[in-house]
Amino acid sequence: MTAVPARLERFFVADSPTQQLAARLRSAGHASYLVGGSVRDALLDRDIDDVDITTSARPDVVEAVVRPWAGAVWLQGQRFGTIGCEKDGERFEITTFRADVYRPESRKPEVTFSDDIETDLSRRDFTVNAMAIALDPADNDRFVDPYGGLTDLAARRLRTPLAPEISFEDDPLRMLRAARFVTTLGFEPDAAAIAAIERMHERLDIVSAERIRDELSKLIVADDPAPGLWLCSRTGLSDHFLPELNSMQLEQDPIHRHKDVLAHTIAVVGKTSPRLRIRLAALLHDVGKPRTRGYGPQGVTFHHHEVVGARMARERMLALRYPNDLVDDVAKLVELHLRFHTYRMGWTDSAVRRYVRDAGPLLDDLNELTRCDCTTRDARKAAALGRRMDELEARIGELREREELAKIRPALDGNRVMRYLGVAPGPIVGEALDFLLELRLEEGPLDEDESYSRLDAWARERGLEPKGAG
Ligand code: ATP
Ligand code: MG
């Protein structure tokens, strides 16, 4: 290779972190190459975050070489031959040349190492990820591309270095990685790869939930996730990690030509901003529809699909091993996604307070999801919804200025309630606090005197004799 693409220059600057690392490995008798996503992204003129390096050195040697040099070292990937480290702001993932094969029923790769770069590249997922550049400036055959990755890159094509059946059998996750690269790179799998996915998708069942989750997350936060989601749906691949997707395809209503829920869902995902939480909420917001479909006088109905859907979203995300706080947030967004539409008669202050309180820190995401959940082709309808959302947001803004909406709580705390009523801790205190919270939501902030006198009336109705605030 003659000219070095601009994005690669930093790796060849004398004494750069990358060159220091290569020199250290060389002193230990080992070759090293820039490889994988780093080479691909440099050729596409995209940013490179983690620098992928491959080397003939075994992981224990790599560790010994980087330990005294790197600022930080991480070993989570060591079992699979990967050592991670950081040096002067550059993050490296250093992988020993591989010749790995999955045992057919195992969930984790059985790693075996090889001594040459070509074998390593043949074990990579796609030819566009199977190019390498020697880091030794003295190496004359600097660019290594035995499988035609550069041609495929130019054609924006995903092709496996070996036959796709062998590749996907070795590691079925590669089928999902194909869908991921369809969205993140806008590339297309070749016909052989598609046919292999159609034939072999059940093999994904042997892959661990964590590995699937990480690919799914990368897939759905891409600028335009639709092509990858459609690929998963069309080939049947998603049936093995997100069966809810294709269930939504069955939701056409032939009589009233109700929109296909799957097409709607994928459109909504693409409209939301590319953050994981809201994208997952968009992906799962209507999963309750298939189970709640009914036919009423006005056509098809999906009563309480948001409640059923929130439960299903929770179960699915837990199965995919998403962290609990993210699961809670997404389930809540699914459960609240119709709330806006329940206020058909206009928004009272009390309704606005309840909406804000129930959404809590998810308020902005809930508003965005509600806006994006409108995929009608009827421009007048869409504009009307947009206006009503603007109104609600303006109302929230006004109320926020007048009241501290973020901190809605009863006007009196538990201690003051107990003192006033002259009671010990017990259920009655909780009931009194619930009453005061209701009051706060219904009427807004009340001053202390007013709060005590309302509490007084409430207590007397229950036959209590308050002791008073004094
Ligand atoms: P990104 O870093 O943007 O997520 P990437 O292509 O660098 O994309 P990584 O997961 O960082 O993906 O993997 C680095 C390289 O390792 C890939 O480019 C590919 O060459 C190889 N690779 C990763 N996962 C697999 C796999 N399951 N099977 C085969 N090769 C893989
Ligand atoms: Mg990478």
Q: Are 7 and 108 in contact (CB under 8 A)?
A: no
Q: Quick count: other Cβ atoms within 10 Å of Cβ 451? A: 21
Mean pLDDT of the residues in the chain: 91
Taking residues 28-57, what's their average pLDDT? 95
| Ligand 1 pocket, residue 120 CB under 6 Å | no
Q: Which of 379, 372, 454, 371 is nearest to 420 (CA)?
A: 454
Quick one: how many helices (H) and strands (E) in the chain? 23, 11
Q: How confident is the model at residue 176 (pLDDT cuts 50, 70, 90)?
A: very high
Could you tell me the end-to-end alpha-carbon distance of the chain, in angstroms, rounded to an integer? 87
Distance 455 CA to ligand 1 centre (A): 63
Find out whether the beta carbon of 174 lies less than 6 Å from any atom of ligand 1. Answer: yes
Distance (angstroms) between ligand 1 centre and the Cα of 175 equals: 13
- Our mutation pick for probing the ligand 1 site, out of 94, 106, 125, counting the most ligand atoms within 8 A of Cβ, is 125
CA-CA-CA-CA dihedral for 235, 108, 113, 62, to nearest 10 = 120
Contact yes or no for 204/237 (Cβ under 8 A): yes
Residue 410 is predicted with a pLDDT of 83
Return the bridge partners of 393, or none. none
Residue recorded with tokens 């190459």: 33
Atom of ligand 1 nearest to the CA of 184: 3
Given the DSSP bridges, would you call strands 188-189 and 157-158 parallel, antiparallel or unpaired? parallel
To test ligand 1's pocket by mutation, which of 124, 147, 208 has the most ligand atoms within 8 angstroms of CB? 124
pLDDT at 4: 66
The finding on whether 36 has its CB within 6 A of some atom of ligand 1 is yes
Closest ligand 1 atom to residue 130 Cα is 20
Q: Taking a C-beta distance cutoff of 8 angstroms, is the pair 369, 333 a contact?
A: yes
Q: Is residue 328 helix, strand or coil?
A: helix
Determine the pLDDT at residue 120: 95
**354: exposed, middle or buried (Cβ count in 10 Å: 0-12, 13-18, 19+):** middle
C-alpha span between 436 and 458 (Å, rounded): 10
- Whole-angstrom distance, CA of residue 188 vs CA of residue 181: 8
Residue 353 CA to residue 376 CA, distance in Å, equals 29
Residue 321, pLDDT score: 98
Statement: residue 348 has pLDDT above 50: yes
**pLDDT on residue 295:** 81
Contact 67, 91 (CB under 8 A): no
Torsion of CA 401, 402, 406, 411, to 10 degrees: 160
Nearest CA to ligand 1 atom 10: 37
Q: Could you give the CA distance from residue 328 to residue 308 in angstroms, rounded to a whole number? A: 14
From ligand 2's centre to the CA of 185, what distance in Å? 13
> DSSP letter at 101?
B
Residue with tokens 């603007």: 390
- pLDDT tops 80 at residue 204: yes
**416 has a pLDDT exceeding 80:** yes
pTM for this one?
0.85
Kindly identify the ligand whose nearest atom is closest to the C-alpha of 212: 1
| Across 98-115, average pLDDT | 71
Q: Which residues pair with 84 in a beta bridge?
A: 74, 93
In the structure, what pLDDT confidence band is assigned to residue 181 with cuts at 50, 70 and 90? very high
Confidence of residue 372 (pLDDT cuts 50, 70, 90): very high
215 lines ligand 1 (CB under 6 A): no
Decide: 37 in ligand 1 pocket, CB within 6 A: yes
φ, ψ for residue 274 (rounded to 5)?
-75, 65
Q: Which atom from ligand 1 is nearest to the alpha carbon of 37?
A: 7
Asked whether 446 and 398 are in contact (CB, 8 A), the reply is no
User: What burial class does residue 358 get, using C-beta atoms within 10 Å of its C-beta: 0-12 exposed, 13-18 middle, 19+ buried?
Assistant: middle
User: Is 129 touching ligand 1 by the criterion CB < 6 Å?
Assistant: yes
How many other C-beta atoms lie within 10 A of the C-beta of residue 71? 13
- The more confidently predicted of residues 399 and 215 is 215
Q: What is the mean pLDDT of residues 91-97?
A: 97
The ligand placed nearest to the CA atom of residue 174 is: 1
Q: What's residue 165's pLDDT?
A: 96
155 confidence band (pLDDT: 50, 70, 90): very high
Pick from 274, 50, 84, 52: nearest CA to 184: 274
pLDDT more than 90, % of the chain? 69
Question: How far is the CA of 449 from the CAs of 402, 453, 455, in angstroms?
Answer: 20, 6, 10
For residues 257 and 265, which has the higher predicted lDDT (pLDDT)?
A: 265
Q: Is 211 in the pocket of ligand 1 (CB under 6 A)?
A: no
Supply the pLDDT for residue 111. 78
Residues 6+ apart with CB under 8 A from 242: 216, 232, 283, 316
Those residues whose C-beta lies under 8 Å from the C-beta of residue 296, and which sit 6 or more positions away, are none
Task: Say yes or no: CB of residue 244 within 6 Å of ligand 1.
Answer: no
The mean pLDDT value for 259-286 works out to: 94
User: Quick count: other Cβ atoms within 10 Å of Cβ 292?
Assistant: 15
Average pLDDT over residues 123-143: 93
Task: Take atom 26 of ligand 1 and give the residue whose Cα is closest.
Answer: 125
User: Has residue 254 got a pLDDT over 60?
Assistant: no
Alpha-helix runs per DSSP H in 185-284: 191-200, 209-220, 226-235, 244-247, 261-271, 276-284
Centroid of ligand 1 to alpha carbon of 429 (angstroms)? 58
User: Counting atoms of ligand 1 from 1, which one is nearest the CA of 173?
Assistant: 27
Whether 332 lines ligand 1, by a CB cut-off of 6 Å, is no
Lowest mean pLDDT among 57-61, 283-287, 343-347: 343-347
107 pLDDT more than 80: no
Give the mean model confidence (pLDDT) for residues 158-184: 96
Q: Which ligand is in closest contact with the Cα of 129?
A: 1
The pLDDT of residue 342: 83
The identity of residue 113, as a single letter, is F
Long-range contact pairs involving 249-257 (C-beta distance under 8 Å, separation at least 24): 250/290, 251/289, 251/290, 251/293, 253/299, 253/300, 255/299, 255/300, 256/299, 256/300
- Residue with structure tokens 């928004």? 347
Ligand 1 midpoint to CA 174 (Å) = 9
